[in-house]
């Protein structure tokens, strides 16, 4: 079971809340750090199964958390990290996705409100999957507005693509969009054909292919 | 051609004598006989001649002479009751207050008197220069332009006054812009966030009441409250973005513009070449200017592609935004361009727009001295090692020729003290002694002067230079 989690957050209340929330869902919190340098050290030494990291951390209160995460993933490729932020930016999403390995998440802090979905996202990232905020996905799609293969998708296929890009499995897409799993599988096959991507049965690999595709424009 | 110009200058001398013959009686009448209404036309006449000379100096000799005059007083505005006020008197028509303002404007301007002085001397200077103007027109015209600059250019004081006026205007604009921003933020917070928080509080209050009677309904309401708080956060994020975009705070102008480019409906290419981050207020002004330009390009220009280039030139921040839109942008037509100009003006920044109808539109913005220069900012540039060595050597050795070999030897000689010691000059034959002593003192003095001047001239290069305020529009 992948449940050793590291938390990096400078606000005491939120850090404490995250620790409690994750402990309540059978995670073992191996560390809770406050600053960027501490985070980088902990990431490399503890190698947690998954880390929940705030973008803005002391001492500079800029993008310290993001920088430490990217640095750690350069040293340990695929180290699962879920980045939380008060705002989501395509620029940061693209930087996080640039190495093309999984185990990465980028969510608005608001998503913590919905505990089940948040814990689900943490588990997905721990298992090497992705968890992208719907807002990131809609921005990515918007900046792909002039992309012809994407414009050729039917509205239903587009919906499936959006949910898939968030990092969901076919089963989860089916549940969210009230479709049968076989219908989702059919839509997915169509999407991959239209975007000229190699089909894959593995959920994680499929999501990464889509994100890399959106990212390349 | 050159000869023709020289001739024209000489011909102008006669016109000037004519003006002088009219102006002197006018001045006398105005001040000695109280016919003050003659003064303004007299000043205007002299100014016409001076302005013409300034133009010729610029066009023919390349000698730039900026007009030194104070700006015209603004037109008199009536009070709410329709009367015109001047000091403690009210007038029915604006004529008298207008006239007094004009009078004050002309008589208080020292440039008027400098103009008159120039006019008095100019015909004589021209006649003196006449042989040169005829034989070597090029040199003559240039020499003449230099003379004209001596009296027609603004003095340091009037330049400074102009600068103060400019800063004053810019400060007012900046304050206005800031106040408007504050009002906008206040409105956003008041109408959006605050209202949502009130609703959230009311929902939670309702939950409090319901929780025991009807736990199911309370739970549903709580879910609603959670959604409402998420909406409030979304709203707040939008407001924060409008105040200071998070990426700008976290990464600086380069990445902030890159992030903006990604979110833009246009295909934007961004080129950033900055060794340092500019100061935060400058960064924000530049960011919002680029943002406004890109949205203008998409909205009014119907562009598809754009290019943003951010670079530095000797400490100036230069940003070029190019788009392939329709062109024909005009700041006067109330697109956001005037607003951008105002924002930039607060930092002495300027904007140059090139937007022919049919496009493409290119906007170049320059914010002077907004980047720290290489090394520490504002410090005196460091001298090269050899200069430092020379200065140290001079300070260490200059005393020797100056005091013992110069001053002391001179004193010995004046008081005829019969002691030669190691004073070289006193060993020489009598007629050589004084010249050598003088030479020694000269050498020592020169060495001291050099030791002072070398560092002084070196630090002068970093002195403040007036900003280039060139608004060019096509």
A114 contacts in chain B (CB < 8 Å): 226
Task: With beta carbons less than 8 A apart as the criterion, state whether B228 and B202 touch.
Answer: no
Tell me what pLDDT residue A15 has: 93
- Domains defined along chain A, listed by start: 4-133 (3.40.50.2300), 144-215 (1.10.10.10)
Mean pLDDT value across residues B320-336: 81
Q: 3-state DSSP call for residue A3?
A: coil
Tell me what pLDDT residue B459 has: 53
Q: Give the domain CATH number at B204.
A: 1.20.5
Task: Please check whether residue B93 lies inside any domain of the structure.
Answer: yes
Task: Please check whether residue B374 lies inside any domain of the structure.
Answer: no
DSSP A79: -
Task: Please check whether residue B376 lies inside any domain of the structure.
Answer: no
When the pLDDT of each residue in chain A is averaged and rounded to a whole number, the result is 89
* A89:B259 CB<8 A: yes
Chain A / chain B CB contacts < 8 angstroms: 46
Distances (CA, A) of A152 to A145, A156, A157, A158: 11, 11, 10, 9
User: Based on the domain organization, do B253 and B356 belong to the same domain?
Assistant: yes
Span B299-318, pLDDT tens digits: 888 888 899 999 988 888 99
User: Based on the domain organization, do B11 and B29 belong to the same domain?
Assistant: yes
Q: How confident is the model at residue B336 (pLDDT cuts 50, 70, 90)?
A: confident
Phi then psi for residue B208, to 5 deg, are -55, -45
User: Based on the domain organization, do B269 and B157 belong to the same domain?
Assistant: no
Span B179-220, pLDDT tens digits: 988 998 898 888 888 888 988 998 999 999 898 999 999 999
User: Based on the domain organization, do B316 and B232 belong to the same domain?
Assistant: no
User: Based on the domain organization, do B148 and B229 belong to the same domain?
Assistant: no
The shortest C-alpha distance from B353 to chain A (Å) reads 28
Span B169-183, pLDDT tens digits: 888 888 888 898 899
User: Based on the domain organization, do B11 and B154 belong to the same domain?
Assistant: yes
Tell me what pLDDT residue B339 has: 83
- The answer to whether the Cα torsion of B280, B282, B284, B290 is positive or negative is negative
User: Based on the domain organization, do B441 and B421 belong to the same domain?
Assistant: yes
User: Based on the domain organization, do B135 and B10 belong to the same domain?
Assistant: yes
Name the percent of chain A in helix, strand, coil, to the closest 5: 55, 15, 30
Q: How confident is the model at residue B287 (pLDDT cuts 50, 70, 90)?
A: very high
Q: Which of A87, A124, A68 is nearest to B240 (CA)?
A: A87
Q: What is the ipTM of this complex?
A: 0.84
A86 touches chain B (CB under 8 A): yes
Task: Please check whether residue B290 lies inside any domain of the structure.
Answer: yes
Most confident of B133-142, B279-288, B412-421, B427-436: B279-288
Tell me what pLDDT residue A75 has: 93
| Angle, in degrees to the nearest 10, between helices B39-61 and B95-107 | 50
B230 → closest Cβ in A55, A113, A145: A113
* B263:A142 CB<8 A: yes
Residues 168-197 of A with CB under 8 A from B: none
The Cα–Cα gap between A96 and A200 comes to 22
Q: Does B395 score more than 70 pLDDT?
A: yes
The shortest C-alpha distance from B236 to chain A (Å) reads 10
Task: With beta carbons less than 8 A apart as the criterion, state whether B320 and B364 touch.
Answer: yes
A212 touches chain B (CB under 8 A): no
The Cα–Cα gap between B404 and B422 comes to 9
The shortest C-alpha distance from A109 to chain B (Å) reads 10
Tell me what pLDDT residue A217 has: 61
Task: With beta carbons less than 8 A apart as the criterion, state whether A69 and A6 touch.
Answer: no
Quickly tell me which residue has 């040169």 as its tokens. B132
Mean pLDDT value across residues B40-52: 90
Tell me what pLDDT residue B71 has: 77
Q: Give helix then strand counts, H and E, for chain A.
A: 11, 6
Domain termination residue (choose one: B112, B144, B164): B164
Q: Which of A69, A119, A62, A110 is nearest to A87 (CA)?
A: A110
B263 → closest Cβ in A62, A113, A143: A143
Quickly tell me which residue has 């990445």 as its tokens. B255
A110 touches chain B (CB under 8 A): yes
Domain termination residue (choose one: B128, B145, B164): B164
User: Based on the domain organization, do B211 and B280 belong to the same domain?
Assistant: no
User: Based on the domain organization, do B235 and B321 belong to the same domain?
Assistant: no
Q: Does B455 score more than 80 pLDDT?
A: no
Phi then psi for residue A113, to 5 deg, are -55, -40
The Cα–Cα gap between B152 and B60 comes to 16
Residue A85: both structure tokens together: 């932020």
The shortest C-alpha distance from B209 to chain A (Å) reads 23
The shortest C-alpha distance from B265 to chain A (Å) reads 6
User: Based on the domain organization, do B57 and B107 belong to the same domain?
Assistant: yes
Task: Please check whether residue B91 lies inside any domain of the structure.
Answer: yes
The Cα–Cα gap between B412 and B405 comes to 11
The Cα–Cα gap between B357 and B474 comes to 10
Q: Which of A109, A122, A112 is nearest to A82 (CA)?
A: A122
Task: Please check whether residue B322 lies inside any domain of the structure.
Answer: yes
The Cα–Cα gap between B203 and B214 comes to 14
Q: Which of A131, A29, A135 is nearest to A86 (CA)?
A: A135
Of all residues in chain B, what percent carry a pLDDT higher than 90?
Answer: 13
User: Based on the domain organization, do B362 and B237 belong to the same domain?
Assistant: no
Q: 3-state DSSP call for residue A83?
A: strand
Q: Does B457 score more than 90 pLDDT?
A: no
Task: Please check whether residue B401 lies inside any domain of the structure.
Answer: yes
Tell me what pLDDT residue B373 has: 53
Domain termination residue (choose one: B164, B196, B224): B164
A117 touches chain B (CB under 8 A): no
Task: With beta carbons less than 8 A apart as the criterion, state whether B358 and B329 touch.
Answer: no
Task: Please check whether residue B110 lies inside any domain of the structure.
Answer: yes
Mean pLDDT value across residues B351-376: 79
B237 → closest Cβ in A86, A142, A143: A86
B247 → closest Cβ in A91, A113, A139: A91
Smallest CA–CA distance from B259 into chain A, residue: A91
When the pLDDT of each residue in chain B is averaged and rounded to a whole number, the result is 84
- For B234, the domain range is 173-243
Residues of chain A with confidence (pLDDT) below 70: 217
* B249:A89 CB<8 A: no
Tell me what pLDDT residue B410 has: 84
Q: How confident is the model at residue B381 (pLDDT cuts 50, 70, 90)?
A: low
A95 touches chain B (CB under 8 A): no
If one counts the domains in chain B, the total is 4
């Amino acid at each position: 079971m992948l449940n050793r989690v590291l938390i990096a957050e400078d606000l005491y209340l939120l850090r404490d809340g995250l620790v409690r929330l994750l402990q309540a869902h059978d995670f073992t919190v191996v560390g809770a750090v406050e600053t960027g340098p501490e985070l980088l050290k902990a990431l490399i030494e503890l190698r947690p199964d998954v880390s929940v990291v705030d973008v803005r951390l002391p001492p500079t209160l800029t993008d310290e958390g993001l920088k430490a995460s990217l640095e750690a993933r350069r040293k340990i490729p695929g180290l699962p990290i879920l980045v939380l932020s008060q705002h989501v930016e395509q620029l940061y999403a693209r930087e996080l996705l640039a190495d093309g390995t999984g185990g990465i998440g980028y969510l608005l802090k608001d998503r913590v409100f919905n505990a089940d979905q948040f814990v689900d996202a943490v588990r997905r990232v721990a298992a090497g999957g992705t968890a992208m905020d719907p807002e990131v996905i809609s921005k990515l799609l918007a900046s792909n507005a002039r992309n012809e293969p994407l414009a050729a998708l039917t509205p239903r296929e587009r919906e499936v693509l959006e949910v898939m890009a968030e990092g969901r499995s076919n089963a989860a897409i089916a549940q969210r969009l009230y479709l049968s799993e076989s219908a989702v599988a059919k839509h997915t096959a169509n999407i991959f054909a239209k975007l000229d991507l190699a089909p894959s049965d593995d959920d994680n690999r499929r999501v990464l292919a889509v994100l890399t595709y959106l990212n390349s424009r | 051609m050159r000869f023709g110009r020289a001739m024209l200058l000489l011909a102008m001398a006669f016109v000037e004598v004519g003006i002088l013959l009219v102006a002197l009686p006018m001045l006398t009448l105005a001040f000695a006989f109280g016919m003050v209404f003659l003064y303004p036309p007299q000043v205007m006449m002299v100014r016409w001649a001076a302005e013409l000379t300034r133009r010729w100096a610029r066009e023919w000799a390349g000698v730039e002479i900026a007009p030194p005059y104070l700006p015209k007083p603004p037109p008199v505005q009536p009070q709410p009751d329709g009367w015109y006020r001047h000091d403690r008197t009210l007038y029915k028509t604006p004529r008298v207050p207008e006239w007094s303002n004009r009078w004050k404007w002309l008589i208080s301007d020292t440039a008027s008197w400098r103009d008159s002085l120039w006019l008095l001397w100019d015909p004589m200077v021209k006649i003196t220069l006449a042989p040169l103007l005829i034989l070597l027109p090029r040199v003559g015209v240039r020499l003449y332009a230099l003379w004209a600059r001596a009296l027609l250019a603004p003095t340091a004081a009037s330049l400074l006054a102009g600068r103060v006026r400019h800063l004053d205007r810019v400060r007012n604009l900046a304050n206005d812009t800031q106040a408007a921003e504050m009002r906008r933020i206040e409105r956003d917070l008041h109408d959006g966030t605050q209202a949502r928080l009130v609703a959230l509080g009311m929902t939670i209050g309702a939950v409090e009441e319901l929780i025991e009677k009807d736990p199911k309904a309370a739970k549903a309401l709580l879910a609603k409250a959670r959604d409402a708080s998420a909406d409030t956060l979304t709203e707040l994020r939008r407001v924060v973005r409008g105040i200071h975009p998070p990426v700008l705070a976290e990464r600086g102008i380069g990445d902030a513009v890159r992030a903006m480019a990604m979110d833009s409906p246009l295909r934007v290419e961004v080129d950033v070449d900055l060794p340092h981050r500019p100061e935060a207020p400058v960064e924000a002004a530049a960011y919002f200017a680029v943002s406004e330009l890109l949205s203008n390009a998409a909205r009014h220009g119907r562009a598809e592609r754009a290019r943003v280039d951010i670079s530095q030139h000797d400490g100036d921040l230069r940003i070029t935004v190019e788009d392939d839109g329709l062109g024909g942008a005009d700041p006067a037509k109330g697109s956001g361009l005037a607003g951008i100009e105002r924002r930039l003006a607060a930092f002495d920044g300027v904007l140059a727009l090139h937007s022919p109808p049919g496009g493409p539109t290119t906007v170049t913005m320059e914010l002077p001295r907004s980047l720290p220069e290489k090394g520490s900012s504002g410090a005196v540039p460091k001298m090269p090692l050899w200069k430092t060595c020379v200065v140290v050597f001079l300070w260490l050795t200059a005393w020797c020729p100056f005091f013992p070999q110069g001053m002391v030897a001179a004193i010995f000689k004046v008081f005829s003290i019969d002691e030669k010691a190691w004073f070289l000059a006193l060993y020489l034959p009598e007629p050589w002694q004084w010249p050598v002593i003088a030479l020694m003192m000269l050498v020592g003095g020169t060495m001291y002067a050099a030791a002072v001047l070398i560092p002084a001239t070196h630090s002068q290069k970093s002195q403040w230079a007036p900003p280039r305020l060139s608004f060019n529009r096509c």
